[in-house]
Amino acid sequence: MPQPIRVLIAKPGLDGHDRGALVVAKGLRDEGMEVIYTGLRQTPAQIVATAIEEDVACVGLSSLSGAHMSLFPEVVKGLRDAGADDILVVGGGVIPAADARALKQVGVAEIFTPGSTMREMAEFIRAHVRGREPVIAPSTPVEQLDHIGIAVNDLEASVAFYEQAFGLKLERIETVADQSVRVAFLTAGSTHLELLCPTDERAAVAKFLAKRGPGLHHIAFSVKDIERSLAAAAERGLALIDQQPRLGAGGKKIAFLHPKSTGGVLTEYCQTVMEDEAHA
Ligand code: CMX
């Protein structure tokens, strides 16, 4: 497993405001990085020492005091003098473009000004940390188990079974033309069962029923950004059945991962499509 990137967020100098630095620390953590925060009013020498001691791959300097032109280069020089110039240094704050250009010339890899997104910062760091193992972008964590798919031969009879045996409530029945199935969704606490019945003998579910008989067919995780989750899954070596999302039940975007790469369990990602996106 690739290790997460370790980042030191540091506040050099006398600047007493760290809200921005804390937001960046949290944002990079959400991007899967391990973030250490120095606290306020650090000297460049303290930052260099902490970066080396904590074995970070990147130092993110934040300054709002206007002293970035002296403090940032001191950190770069300190790392170089200590033989740790493989540590990537980036900076952020209210920094004029001319200063940013000058800082880049002395070894600050990038300057992020207000308006830069967390994604931009994280992607820059991932792409530029040096001398380490290649780093794979983390998957966005799944939101929740959206449903469990169960292949059935008779949809109505199976709905009645789950209603009677377990008191589940039928939410809706619909046909998913793209997958050649009729599906019934039953609410089961905070998740759902999706009963799947083929409408066509060439359907994936028909093949499954013929080979294995009725039973557990797949699990589905809801995700925030399905394209990104697919890209991250592919990067991790998981086999994608769908390279691009398709239209699934409930008008959601769906995509499947092959069971041979997910421990024998056919796994689906699904993403609710926003109203405005659906009508675009
Ligand atoms: N869970 C676990 N393993 C499965 C599986 C499933 N649901 N379906 C097939 N497999 C296994 C088979 O047992 C077989 O394993 P062995 O090689 O060890 O025998 C292997 O996968 C290949 O199976 P296959 O019968 O030859 O079937 P295909 O390779 O043609 O297709 C799969 C398998 C998963 C790629 C195909 O079913 C698929 O594309 N599924 C995704 C789409 C889908 O299932 N849609 C229905 C649901 C739609 C919805 O929820 O709306």
pLDDT for 96-116, tens place per residue? 999 999 999 999 999 998 888
Q: Distance from the CA of 151 to the center of ligand 1, in angstroms?
A: 12
Pick from 67-71, 222-226, 231-235: least confident: 231-235
- Comparing 265 with 280, which gets the higher pLDDT? 265
- Beta bridge partners, 203, equal none
Q: What is the mean pLDDT of residues 170-176?
A: 97
Q: What's the topology of domain 144-278?
A: 2,3-Dihydroxybiphenyl 1,2-Dioxygenase; domain 1 (3.10.180)
Instruction: State whether the beta carbon of 217 lies less than 6 angstroms from ligand 1.
Output: yes
Q: Distance from the CA of 199 to the center of ligand 1, in angstroms?
A: 17
Give the integer Cα–Cα distance in Å for 203 and 208.
Answer: 9
pLDDT of residue 232: 86
Band (78; pLDDT cuts 50, 70, 90): very high
pLDDT of residue 136: 52
Instruction: State whether the beta carbon of 248 lies less than 6 angstroms from ligand 1.
Output: yes
Band (91; pLDDT cuts 50, 70, 90): very high
Say whether pLDDT at 137 is over 80.
no
Q: Distance from the CA of 1 to the center of ligand 1, in angstroms?
A: 27
Q: Does domain 6-128 have CATH number 3.40.50.280?
A: yes
Percent of the chain with pLDDT over 90: 71
Band (64; pLDDT cuts 50, 70, 90): confident
The whole-model pTM stands at: 0.61
Q: What is the mean pLDDT of residues 212-216?
A: 97
Domain extents for the chain?
6-128, 144-278
Instruction: State whether the beta carbon of 267 lies less than 6 angstroms from ligand 1.
Output: no
**Average pLDDT value over all residues in the chain:** 90
pLDDT of residue 280: 45
Band (217; pLDDT cuts 50, 70, 90): very high
